[in-house]
Amino acid sequence: MKIKKIGVLTSGGDSPGMNTALRAVVRTCAYNKIDCIGIYRGFQGLINDEMKVLKTRSVRGIINRGGTMLYSARSEEFKSVSGRKKAFLNIKKNKIDALVVIGGDGSFTGAMVFQNEYNIPVIGIPGTIDNDLFGTSHTLGYDTALNTVMEAIDKIRDTAISHDRLFFVEVMGRDAGHIALNSGIAIGAQEILIPESKIGLDELIISLRKSKKLGKTSNIVVVSEGDKTGKNVFELSKKVEEKFPDYEIKVSVLGHMQRGGSPTCFDRVLGTKMGVIAVEKIMAGESSVMIGLVNGKIKLTPLNSAIKGASKINKELIRVSKIMNI
């Protein structure tokens, strides 16, 4: 089938680099004389027929902007058969031949179900700061989020040192500890708590006592939001405070600031490459695959594998972090 019109949408949580990938999709379509339709507010926009033709000038000035100019949303209606039927009817109405979906595992799950039901070619671009998809070493926005977290904790360290404080800093990542592990090493954290390593409260207490004995008067502990050492980071800090009554303990939850900001050079280049290749692979007849980066090269992974496969934490980095907290 000759591809004449491609629809593109962003779905789920936003991440820096989504706009960059969108820009690349639109411009690659224009280069190949293919019409490009921007779908606003993710899959809900498909249902509501919120669509607009995008040309090269439509995406000028967005390469350095965080977030997504198409907006993003999570659609409960798209999870229903009737919702997906509405979306399909709008795809037929607008004569869209294929879809590029920029998002994470939830977005890819919806895209895969839709593709299987209606045989609409779909290509996924991994846009999530969590870096939790199988088939790529870097998701779009992950590098930017790492730098945002590092800069924020560098500032927290200034006040921790000035007041002899112990800070627990919670970072995003859901059930994956990539952000916590890498940023923790980058800022010299005393301990890094991630779901994959399961340090536990006792080991954390031993590490902090050792640190105090060596004369450290301030410390940073980086905690991934998916870590289960405590019910949450506030409960964890209370348990530690019971063991160290003379320590002034503070908690900082970085929250949604991690999703924002101008994408780094790495994310801009990655988003551009992924956007170009997504369009080219659709033209070549590919479908139901995710564009990923493996060993520095672009690789295709079936959407089903990208969703169900587990992104692996770097165990060598865990070992390195243990050596560094002496």
The whole-number average pLDDT for the span 59-84 is 95
Q: What is the pTM of this model?
A: 0.94
Q: For residues 98 and 3, is the Cβ–Cβ distance under 8 A?
A: yes
pLDDT in tens, 268-321: 999 999 999 999 999 999 999 999 999 999 999 999 999 988 888 999 999 999
CA 287 to chain centre: 22
Count CB atoms within 10 A of the CB of residue 101.
30
Q: What are the residues whose beta carbons fall under 8 Å from the beta carbon of 105, sequence distance 6 or more?
A: 128, 132, 133, 306, 307
Instruction: Report all structural domains of the chain as residue ranges with CATH numbers, in order of start.
Output: 5-141+263-308 (3.40.50.450), 143-259 (3.40.50.460)
pLDDT at residue 218 above 90? no
The answer to whether residue 130 is catalytic is yes
Q: For residues 144 and 31, is the Cβ–Cβ distance under 8 A?
A: no
Encoding tokens for residue 81?
């058969």
pLDDT in tens, 127-157: 999 999 999 999 999 999 999 999 999 999 9
> CB-side exposure of 96: number of CA atoms within 13 Å?
28
Based on the number of CB atoms within 10 Å of its own CB, is 168 exposed (0-12), middle (13-18) or buried (19 or more)?
A: buried
Residue with tokens 């170009």: 276
The residue from 105, 130, 132, 267 that is catalytic is 130
Query: What is the residue type of 110?
Result: G
Q: What DSSP assignment string belongs to 128-190?
A: -TT---TT-S--BTHHHHHHHHHHHHHHHHHHHHHHTEEEEEEE--TT--HHHHHHHHHHT-S
CA torsion sign for 171, 305, 140, 11 is negative
